[in-house]
Each structure stands twice: as structure tokens, then as C-alpha cells.
Structure 1
Amino acid sequence: MKLNPFEKKLVQHPIRFWLQNHLEAPLLTSMMPKPMARCERALEIGCGFGNGIQLIREHFGAGHITAVDIDPEMVAAAQSRWQARPQGLKGLSFSVADASSLPFADGEFDMVFDFAVFHHIPDWQAAIKDVARVLKPNGYFVIEDLYRAAICNPLSRRLFEHPQQNRFNHREWLLVLRQSGFEIICDRNALDLAGMVLAQKVQR
């Protein structure tokens, strides 16, 4: 599901960028095993206005980043933002894609990133399975997302447009990750409103 106009303004606000860069990214990287695994190819699902690209480059050292979003407007905005920077689009590729049916080969990526996107996806279970498909064996799925209690309430419904059926809490999220072939390396649950998870694809 695409963001509504209010949420688009919210996610591109400088305060949101500051929180991602200075609070969320350090928390996510602190969950990674040390030394951090080398990341040649990374996928960001739901790239929005492109701030996640900076986090993946600076904090996870990705060599090449593929950024996708279901909204063509967001993909165009992210691409334009990075094209205007000194390094341009080097090491970046962008495409419109549905997370439940990713247009990539099996085992194409070392890491996949979800920066609060899966709560927008109606069939999030299918999306997790497709993340497992496109990850290499032992690849990492880096997650921060919102849970049912945060989006299925009167205030959230008034301000945002989120799917209200088939939503998840922390326990349900971890269960589907495990069922989809992931091992949970680290997880953090903030009052079942939001959580962070580092999951690794089990090598078979």
C-alpha cells in the first residue's frame, strides 16, 4: 500500500532523517555480529525518498544497493535525490517492484533491509518468503517495523492509510521469519508497538 500525502511529508522531514541516522542506524548495526559481514549487494525494500540508501552505505558498507518501491513517485524522487549528489548513481539501481513478488534472481543479495515498510504490505508473509528467496545462504535480513498495536488504532487510522487486516505483532513476526527459513540472531521489542530484528537465512 502506498503512503498517503501526510505520511509522505512525515517520512521526508529532516527530523525523520536525523532519527534514522543518529538513533536507528546505530541500534541496527549494534545487532550485527562483529566483525560485520561483507556486503557486496544490498536490497532496500520500500526506498521512499532515499534516506535508507545513505544508512546502508555508511553503516553497513554495501558495495551496490538496489532500491525498490511499489510507488513510482517514490522511486523517481529517490533516484533524483541521489543523481544530484557528487557521486551520482554510482553503485545504485532503482526499480518499481512489489515486495511480495520481487523481480530478482534467487540468492542475489547479501543483505535485505526493511526500514518500517512491511506494515504497509497486505501479504507480508509472502514478502518475507520472497526476501528469503533473493538472499544468499547465510545472508542477513535487517528489519525495523511497526506492529499491529501501532497502526490499528483510531489515531493511526485517522492520520495514515495502513492495511488493517492480517497485521502482526512481534511474536507473529518472528514466527513467520522462522517458518520462512530464517534464524533470529537478535531481536528487540518496544512494547509490541515496534521492533528491530536481525535474521539470517539458514544455509540448507
Structure 2
Amino acid sequence: MKLNPFEKKLVQHPLRFWLQNHIEAPLLTSMMPKPHPDIRQALEIGCGFGNGIQLIRDHFGAEHVTAVDLDPEMIAAAKARWQESPHGLKQLDFTVADATSLPFADSQFDVVFNFAVFHHIPDWQAAIAEVARVLKPNGYFVVEDLYRAAICNPLSRKLFEHPQQNRFNHQEWLSGMRQAGFNILCDRNLFNLSGMVLAQKSLA
């Protein structure tokens, strides 16, 4: 499901990026094993206006980032933003894609990132299965997302457009990841409103 106009304004606000850069990304990187793994190929699902690409490069040290989004407007905006940056579009790819049917080969990426995107996906279980497919064995899935209580309430329904059926809480999210073949390495749950998870694809 695409973002509505209000949420598009919200996610591109400078305060949102400040929070991502100074609060969320350091918390996520603190969950990674030490020393940090070498990330040659990273995938961001739901790139929006391109904020996540900078986080993936600056905080996780990814060499090459592939960014996908369901909304062509978002892909165009992210691509334009990075085209105007000092680094340009070097080591970046942009693709319009559905998270439940990713146009990539099996075992292609070292790490996949979800920065609060899967609560927009009606069939989030299918999207997790796709992440498992495109990740290399022992690859990492870095997650932060919103849970049922945060999006299935009167205020959220008034401001945003989120799927209201087949939503998840923290334990249901962890269960879905385990069913897709992930081992949970670290997880944090904020009052079942949102959470962070680091998972690793099993070898089997």
C-alpha cells in the first residue's frame, strides 16, 4: 500500500531524518555482530525519498545499495535526490517493485533493510519469504517497524492509510520470521507499538 499525502510529507520532514540518523540507526547498528559484517550488496525495501540509503551507507558501510519501492513517485524522488548529491548515483540501483515479488535472484544480497515499511504490506508474510529468498545464507535482515496497536486505532486511521487486516504484534512478527527460516539474533519491543529486530537467514 502506498503512502498517503500526509505521510509522504511526514517521512521527508528533516526531523524524521534526524531521528533516523541520530536515534534509530545507532540503535540498529548496536544490534549487529562485532566486528560489523562486510556488506557488499544491500537491499532496502520501501526506499521512500532516499533517507534510508544514507543510513545504510553511513552507519552500516554498505558498498552497493539497491533500493525498491512500490510507488514510482518515490523512486523518482529518491533517484533525483541522490543524482544531485556529491556521490551521484555511484553504487546505487533503483527499481519499482512489489515486496512480495522481488525481481532479484536467489541469494543475491548480504543484508536487507526494512525501515518501517512492512506494516504497509497486506501480505507481510509473503514479503518476509521474499526477503529470505534473496538473502545469501547467513545474510542479515535488519528491521524496524510499527505494530498493530500503533496503526489500528482511530487516530492512525484518520491520519494515515494502512492495511487494517492481517496486522502483527512483536511476537507475531518474530514468529513469521522464524517460519520463513530466520534465526532471531536480537529484538527490542517498545510497548508493542514498534520494534527492532536483527535476524539471520539460516544455512538450512
Interval containing the TM-score (normalised by the shorter chain):
over 0.9
> In structure 1, the residue corresponding to 2:95 is in which secondary structure?
strand
Match of 2:123 in 1: 123
**Structure 1 alignment gaps of length 5 or more:** none
Match of 1:9 in 2: 9
Match of 1:59 in 2: 59
> In structure 2, the residue corresponding to 1:89 is in which secondary structure?
coil
> In structure 2, the residue corresponding to 1:161 is in which secondary structure?
coil
2:179 is equivalent to residue 179 of structure 1: yes
- TM-score normalized by the length of structure 1: 1.00
Deviation track 1:177-198 (CA, whole Å, cap 9, x = no partner) reads 0010000000000000000000
Match of 1:114 in 2: 114
2-structure distance, mates of 1:178, 1:185 = 11
Aligned partner letter, 1:56: I
> In structure 2, the residue corresponding to 1:102 is in which secondary structure?
coil
Where does structure 1 differ by over 2 angstroms across 4 or more consecutive aligned residues? none
RMSD of Structure 2 on Structure 1 (CA): 0.3
1-structure distance, mates of 2:152, 2:87 = 41
2:121 is equivalent to residue 143 of structure 1: no
Match of 2:191 in 1: 191
Match of 1:20 in 2: 20
Match of 1:79 in 2: 79
> In structure 1, the residue corresponding to 2:200 is in which secondary structure?
strand
2-structure distance, mates of 1:42, 1:111 = 5
1-structure distance, mates of 2:179, 2:121 = 18
2:37 is equivalent to residue 37 of structure 1: yes
Percent identity, aligned pairs only?
78
Tell me how far 1:173 sits from its aligned partner.
Answer: 0.2
Tell me how far 1:11 sits from its aligned partner.
Answer: 0.2
Q: Give the total of aligned pairs.
A: 204
Deviation track 1:157-193 (CA, whole Å, cap 9, x = no partner) reads 0000000000000000000100100000000000000
Tell me how far 1:86 sits from its aligned partner.
Answer: 1.1
Deviation track 1:114-155 (CA, whole Å, cap 9, x = no partner) reads 000000000000000000000000000000000000000000
Aligned partner letter, 2:107: G
1-structure distance, mates of 2:96, 2:48 = 11
2-structure distance, mates of 1:9, 1:17 = 12
Aligned partner letter, 1:149: A
Match of 1:157 in 2: 157
